Amino acid sequence: MPYEVLEHTADIRFRVTGRTLAEAFAEAARAVCETMAPGCTPGGVERRVEIEAPDRETLLADFLSEILYLSDAESIAFCSFEVQIDGNRLTAACRGEEFSQEKHGGGSEIKGISYSGLSINKEGERYVLEFIADV
């Protein structure tokens, strides 16, 4: 299983894995978006995201924050992510569909990504990301 939701006292804590750092970032975005809008299928909506940050942890937080912003501002349910990472620079193709309360309702609203508890580690052959989403 590429991601799991872990117990946390007030918010949602995620643990995400991937064979590559880019795959782990894509899974982190998918985990956040499935939590907000379950039932999404890749539709005709695509947005490109380009981010540069001083370190990988900030890159992850900024990437997920940008996904949250686009989801809210443009009423999009994202569900598919193709991520490329070169150093501390990320480019991503984010695909989904227009948000529909009937189809995507029932999720949890995520307000932001916390820097507290955010970690990126390599365990054996896999990258492991842990982060907390403010609900």
Q: How far is CA 61 from CA 44, 52, 68, 91, in A?
A: 26, 11, 11, 14
- pLDDT category at 107 given cuts 50, 70, 90 is confident
Question: Would the pTM count as exceeding 0.75?
Answer: yes
User: Which phi and psi angles does 64 have, rounded to 5°?
Assistant: -65, -35
Helix/strand/coil for 55: coil
Instruction: Tell me the pLDDT tens digit for each residue of 39-96.
Output: 888 888 999 999 999 999 999 999 999 999 999 999 999 999 999 999 999 999 999 9
| Of 6, 25, 22, 9, the residue nearest 129 (C-alpha) | 25
Structural domains of the chain ordered from first start? 3-134 (3.55.10.10)
Residue percentage of the chain with pLDDT more than 70:
96
Q: Quick one: DSSP state of residue 53?
A: -
